[in-house]
Amino acid sequence: MLLEIIALDAADARAAQEGGADRVELVSDMAADGLSPAPATVEAVRAAVSIPVRVMLRTTPGFAADVPSLRTTLRRLRAAGATEFVLGFLDARGAVDRAALDALLDGFAWTFHRAIDHAADRAAAWRALEGLPGLTSVLTAGGPDGMDAGLPGLLADAPIRRSLLLAGGGLRAAHIPALRHAGVRAFHSGTAVRPGGRWDAPVSPRLVERLLQALGPATPSTLPSGS
């Protein structure tokens, strides 16, 4: 099993690790659904935790790619110690922007984020991601309105996409039994591990532990490949 927690700063990252998280997604500005953090924040988080840290590469709200700006941000984040990333862009037709991805991918492990939930053709978006170098996760709630609405789509994806599927986007403990039953093995949470579900509240180690308990014990048949 893999549990990834959204962190906004080093304190969040330490709390996530203390609670038992396997990985951190580091972002800024959740009012814009997550933008790239400052390089200094990357340095602080890398110094604070030993678990993997995936850093958001996204400079503007929405899913359009300003490639020159993104390249500059990528260089600065890598200089600050970032080695894994979260990114994902759609073109004007709502299709996966392969040209932008090809211009940015450079040998690192990465997650395609919830841009897939806003694609014009979800099945075509999954096909467009097949075989991209370094891709290990696709973060999805099953649809654009979060997991409460998107759960049926997520469950439909699970049997054939579970090697890449990272379930997140309003994940709550109540969603977990159906997802586990469908074979989902990787989970992503932001508000469920913060008191009151508020972004201005810090990550709580106790709530991370509680979410882990809801996931239940992993078995050999549900461990992600490479674990």
For residue range 204-221, list pLDDT tens digits in order.
999 999 999 999 875 333
> Do the domain assignments include residue 38?
yes
Has residue 224 been placed in a domain?
Answer: no
Classify residue 37: in a domain, yes or no.
yes
For 49-73, how does the pLDDT look when each residue is reduced to its tens digit (9 = 90+)? Answer: 999 999 999 999 999 999 999 999 9
CB contact at 8 A, 179 and 222: no
DSSP secondary-structure letter at 35? B
pLDDT class for 195, splitting at 50, 70, 90? very high
Cβ distance 184 to 216 under 8 Å?
Answer: no
Token pair for 85: 């990333």
Per DSSP, the chain holds a count of helices (H) and strands (E) of: 8, 8
CATH (domain of 158): 3.20.20.380
Given pLDDT bands bounded at 50, 70 and 90, which one contains residue 225? very low
Residue 222 lies in a domain: no
| 123 band by pLDDT with thresholds 50, 70 and 90 | very high
99 is a domain residue = yes
187-191-195 Cα angle (round to 5): 125
Expressed as residue numbers, the domain containing 200 is 2-215
Share of the chain above pLDDT 70, in %: 96
Kindly state whether residue 138 falls inside one of the protein's structural domains.
Answer: yes
Question: And the tokens for 195?
Answer: 């008191």
Mean pLDDT of 182-211: 96
| pTM score over 0.85 | yes
**Alpha-carbon gap, residue 153 to 99, rounded angstroms:** 27
For 146, counting Cβ atoms within 10 Å of its Cβ (0-12 exposed, 13-18 middle, 19+ buried), the class is middle
The confidence score (pLDDT) of residue 76 equals 98
Q: How far is CA 157 from CA 8, 31, 41, 138, 162, in A?
A: 29, 28, 35, 11, 7
Q: How many domains would you assign to the chain?
A: 1
Instruction: Return the structure tokens found at 164.
Output: 């890449």
At 4 the pLDDT is: 98
**Residue 96 confidence (pLDDT):** 98
Q: Is residue 47 included in any domain, yes or no?
A: yes
128: in domain: yes
pLDDT at 224 over 70: no
